[in-house]
Amino acid sequence: MNNYSVKNVLKKNTMIIVMFIVYIFFAVMTHGNIFYASQFTALITQNAYVFVLGTGMLMCMLTGGNIDLSVGSFVCFIGAIAGVFSVLKNVNTPLSLLIVLGVGILYGVLLGYLIAYLNIPPWIATLAGYLAFRGAGTEILTKVSTTSAISDFPEPLLKMFSGRVFETSSGVLNIPCLAVGVAAIVLVVVNNYRSRNAKFKKGYETEPMGYVHAKSILEAGIIGLLTFKFAMDGGIPVVLIWVVAIMLIYNFICEKTVIGRHFMTVGGNAETARLSGINNKVVMFVAYLNMSILTVIASLMVTARFKAANSFAGQNFEMDAISACIVGGVSAYGGSGTVFGMAIGAALIGIINLGMSLMGIDQNWQKVVKGGVLLAAVVFDIWTKKNSGKK
């Protein structure tokens, strides 16, 4: 039993390896186009919402494979609300943000109440939301505009959710970006060695030193590459900050806090959780409230990216978020899954989409491939669990 044999390390990180293979595949197929700095930015800006919604979906799925089908429609609805207030009614940006956040919380409370306290199956409650918010969002937008879209969002709002930090023109090395990158590398590497040392001192099982070296080099390399690419393309995209912040926060919640443990337990065995003093209803309630709040953030990101609120915004977003979770190894039955895994899933799907677009494969085949990837991921998950005899 060596947890750190090459074989086991590879096994543990299957999805990361798959991601690299897929990436290399597209690098070859697109003759290196996917390697351009601008494509790195595109990968992040186009898929930022998947990371955010995927995080929310992860929290729902942890509680027992529950999902939220209404996120796509709600993205559209929130976009419309934001447009109405900040553009048409000229409400200032902070107040507009408070309003949409308020709407998000309101919906989250309602949804959480229906699901947690009235025992309505989640996919039905959210299916109703899926229908109703698509209708409501479209209705608002068609009422107020002939093009069923609201544009001309105020600059401060756009800047909060799109563009770049300390933007420089493309091709010029962006210094702040580099600085942040270097800081991140130092932090990650130092943390790797420190945590290993701490474990060693307390006499716990530790990774071999070679593993820590390899891990640090690899992580530093990836961060370095990303930093360089972003620096060459005008700087760090604002949404990247949001995504990284959300990932870090939720990773912390899931891995290190009592709340995270409660989520895992409710999904692992609801009855055990209840008898261990956990209030399952509160956990379910929080999962859906949290989902709605993250949906608001995702909606603002999407609105800012298109610089407009559209009636078709958010279509199939629920599918993207669910796929990211499933591909990232989150159990479809609940109880297991990590933020990091979900992020890998989201990145993998993003790379596939981007790669196929660059290869000129049309949208429709992309859908077919998405469906196939989703199914393959679940089947893979079920089979590996069966073989390891854990299920």
Partner 1 sequence: MGSKVSGFLKKYMMLIALVAVVIFFNFATGGKALYPQNITNLIAQNAYVFVLATGMLLCILTGGNIDLAVGSVVCFAGGVGAIMMDKNIPWPVAVVTMLVMGLLIGMWQGFWIAFVKVPPFIATLAGMLAFRGLSNVVMGGFAYSVTDTTYLNVFGGGADCYIPDFLAGVGPATSLNKFCLVTGIVFAIAIVVYTIFNRSYLRKHDYKLQPLFTEILKTVIICAAIVWLFYKLSCYKGIPTAFIWIGFILGIFAYITTKTTLGRNLYAVGGNEKATRLSGINTKMVMFKAYTLMGLLAGFAGVLNTARFVGAQPTYGTGYEMDAIAACFIGGASAYGGTGSIGGVIIGALMMGVINQGMDIMGTSSNYKLIVKGLVLMFAVFFDVIMKVRRKGGAKA
Partner 2 sequence: MAKVLLEMKNITKTFPGVKALDNVNLKVEEGTIHALVGENGAGKSTLMNVLSGVYPFGTYEGDIVYNGNVCQFHNIKDSEKEGIVIIHQELALIPYMTIGENMFLGNERGKKFCIDWNKTYSEADKYLKIVGLSDSSKTLIKDIGTGKQQLVEIAKALAKNAKLLILDEPTSSLNETDSKALLDLMLEFKKQGMTMIIISHKLNEVSYVADHITIVRDGSTIETLDCKEDDISEDRIIKGMVNRDMTDRFPKRHDVEIGDTQLEVKDWTVYHPEFTERKVVDGVSMNVKKGEVVGIYGLMGAGRTELAMSIFGRSYGIGISGTLKLGGKEVILKSPKQAIEHHLAYVTEDRKGNGLVLTNSIKHNTSLANLKGLSKNLVIDKDKEYAVAADYASKLKTKTPSVEQLVGNLSGGNQQKVLLAKWMFADPDVLILDEPTRGIDVGAKYEIYCIINDLVAAGKSVIMISSELPEVIGMSDRIYIMNEAKIVGEIKASEATQENIMSFIVKSGKED
Q: What is the closest distance, in whole angstroms, from the C-beta atom of residue 276 to partner 2 in the complex?
A: 4
**Distance (Å, whole) CA 319 – CA 325:** 10
Q: Which is nearer to partner 2, 278 or 354 (CB)?
A: 278
Residues of this chain that bind partner 2 (CB under 8 A):
1, 202, 204-205, 256-259, 261, 264-265, 268-269, 271-279, 335-336, 389-390
User: Which of partner 2, partner 1, none interacts with 368 (beta carbon under 5 to 8 A by kind)?
Assistant: partner 1
Q: Which is nearer to partner 1, 13 or 119 (CB)?
A: 119
Nearer to partner 1, 142 or 168 (CB): 142
Residue range at the interface with partner 1 (CB under 8 A); choices 179-187, 255-263, 339-347, 366-374: 366-374
Q: Which is nearer to partner 1, 123 or 228 (CB)?
A: 123
From CA 302, how far away is CA 306, in angstroms rounded? 6
CB of 102: closest distance to partner 2 in angstroms?
A: 26
Contact in structure between 54 and 321 (CB atoms under 8 Å): yes
Q: How far is the CB of 4 from partner 1 (least distance, A)?
A: 32
Taking the C-alpha atoms of residue 87 and residue 228, their distance in angstroms, rounded to an integer, is 37
Cα separation values, 375 from 229, 310, 323, 368, 381, Å: 33, 30, 9, 11, 10
Helix, strand or coil, per DSSP, at residue 309: strand
Query: Judged by CB under 8 A, does residue 326 bind partner 1?
Result: yes
Q: How far is CA 159 from CA 46, 86, 132, 179, 247, in A?
A: 16, 14, 30, 21, 21
Query: Site for partner 1 (CB under 8 A): which residue of 142, 151, 357, 384?
Result: 142
Distance (Å, whole) CA 384 – CA 386: 5
Q: DSSP string of 372-388?
A: HHHHHHHHHHHHHHHHH
Determine, following the binding rule CB under 8 A, whether residue 333 of this chain makes contact with partner 1.
yes
Residues that bind partner 1 (CB under 8 A): 65, 67, 114, 118-121, 123-125, 127-136, 138-139, 142, 270-271, 316, 319, 322, 326, 332-333, 362-372, 374-375, 378-379, 382
